[in-house]
Chain A
Amino acid sequence: MLNIFDLKKNYGDTEVLKNITIRIDDGEVVCIIGPSGSGKSTFLRCLNLLEVPTSGKIYYNGSILDEDLDSKRMRREVGMVFQKFNLFPMFTVLKNIMYAPIHVKKMKKKDAEILAHSLLKKVGLDNKANAYPMQLSGGQQQRVAIARALAMQPKLLLFDEPTSALDPELVGEVLNVMRDLKKDGMSMVVVTHEMGFARDVSDRVVFMDKGYIVEEGCPADIFNHPKEERTQRFLNRVLGGM
């Protein structure tokens, strides 16, 4: 689905991403973990060209991505969910979800509405269709944001710390929705600090530090037998209490 070769990203003189090479397969759930400032968000944002890589190549389904030509087309197929939800505050929940299908995909309003309701049901918020984002809890907003992304029927979903802005008691409802997506076979790349989720749900865990992919592998290997010392130290620190 995605092939990334030798991706680099600099901000001025600081190299934030250094020689990232990785493959994301169809139907795969990849979790990216790592300390703050290691470049996880930057990497994720390079995947849909929200940030323009300094160098390197990204192949999407076999064809190379060029910033100007393809970002719009590609973004119709690759959804993204943000830490801070970024719902459109002036629209109702329903309109948030219907908006892109109607205006980007030129879907008929009736069809978009049916789709939006079915997605709201899927994320357990069918009763909130006419509420405004401000009237919802963080967890509910994030579930709407997921529904909004799903409305474009993406082939891949990117998540940037989808639960980091949530009160602890609301984290579960969002993670459950994401677990359901995995069951449906959705391909996902998830930047997360939720180690439990990474261990249980992902097919592959990628550990990033200081702009490098230090180690990647199946969750059991990474969590139980990390090869790299840096991975061990990071896991000891974040799993210290577990």
Chain B
Amino acid sequence: MDNLLSQLHFATVGQYLVPSLIDGVGIVLEATFFGFILATIVGVFIAVGRLFGWKPIKIFLYVFLEIIRGTPLLVQLVYIYYVVPLIINLLAGMLGYKTDMQIAPLTAGIAGLAINYGCYMSEVVRAGIIAVDKGQMEAALVLGFGKYEALFRIVMPQALRSIIPSLGNYLVMMIKDTSLLAYVAVNELLLRTQTYASQTFYTIEAYSYLAIAYLILSVPLSHCVKFIEYKLSSSSR
């Protein structure tokens, strides 16, 4: 044991890598923050569209959902970052415009997280809306509220009690999944570690620091989520 530790260079690696990781945390938080807010919006739109939308919209959303859930997040990220700009440039070229469109790495990453997570979160939102007594919607309708007004004023606030805890779990998953953004050139924690390890060959130390960094981010967050869940379930009204 003594021997093993003496062969590793945690102190040296820490001196360089830890500040770099701390820098990268800003990007992780930024991606998670915007990714999660947008995912929530996407999730609500898909859920509402599938429940109350016009028939063709329901079908479209269902197909879209199947595509997103049937492909890995990593593939979606790569697709958004590399393929979508190519398609746009190609289409523009056919129309006679010469474009060289690119998507900024972080933008592509946030978009990928928002769409992918939005699809999964839409199921949570949908279940939450369905779980609210149908009489609540009807009571609002007969008072003269429109369908969407009734939904957002009366039904949604009640659905949130069951939605928020599950969405919290997605938040914790998302902060860990930001590591996938390394593959679309976002200079987050994994990419920083990879770069460092490949230059110095301190592989064991570097990735151990990386793992610890994710633990420090996700464990407190998941406890916060559990706490909110507990608060919501104990205050019964």
Contacts and interface: CB of A to CB of B under 8 A. Distances in A.
Interface of A: 48, 50, 72-73, 75-76, 78-80, 82, 84, 86-90, 99-100, 103-105, 132, 134, 148-149, 152
B158 A72 contact: no
B142 to A, nearest CB: 4
B133 interface: yes
Given A50-B141, A99-B143, A148-B143, 5 more contacts: A73-B144, A78-B142, A86-B139, A88-B154, A104-B143
A25 to B, nearest CB: 21
A79 B142 contact: yes
Interface string B141-181: 11111100100011001100000000000000000000000
B102 interface: no
A89 B142 contact: no
A76 B143 CA distance: 6
23 contacts: A50-B138, A72-B144, A72-B146, A75-B141, A79-B142, A80-B138, A82-B135, A82-B138, A84-B135, A86-B133, A86-B139, A90-B158, A90-B237, A99-B143, A100-B143, A100-B144, A103-B149, A104-B143, A104-B145, A132-B237, A134-B237, A149-B142, A149-B143
Contacts, number: 57
B195 interface: no
A239 to B, nearest CB: 31
Contacts of B143: 75-76, 79, 99-100, 104, 148-149, 152
3 shortest interchain CB distances as A-B pairs: A100-B143, A86-B135, A86-B139
B145 A86 contact: no
Contacts of A82: 135, 138-139
Nearest to B133: A86
A24 B12 CA distance: 88
B99 interface: no
Nearest to A82: B135
A187 to B, nearest CB: 15
B136 interface: yes
Interface in B17-65: none
Contact of B142 (A48, A88, A103, A134): A48
Interface in B93-146: 133, 135-136, 138-146
A73 B133 CA distance: 24
Contacts of A78: 142
B144 A86 contact: no
A50 to B, nearest CB: 6
Contact of A103 (B133, B139, B145): B145
A98 to B, nearest CB: 11
Nearest to B138: A50
B145 A88 contact: no
Contacts of B136: 86, 88
Contacts of B138: 50, 80, 82, 86
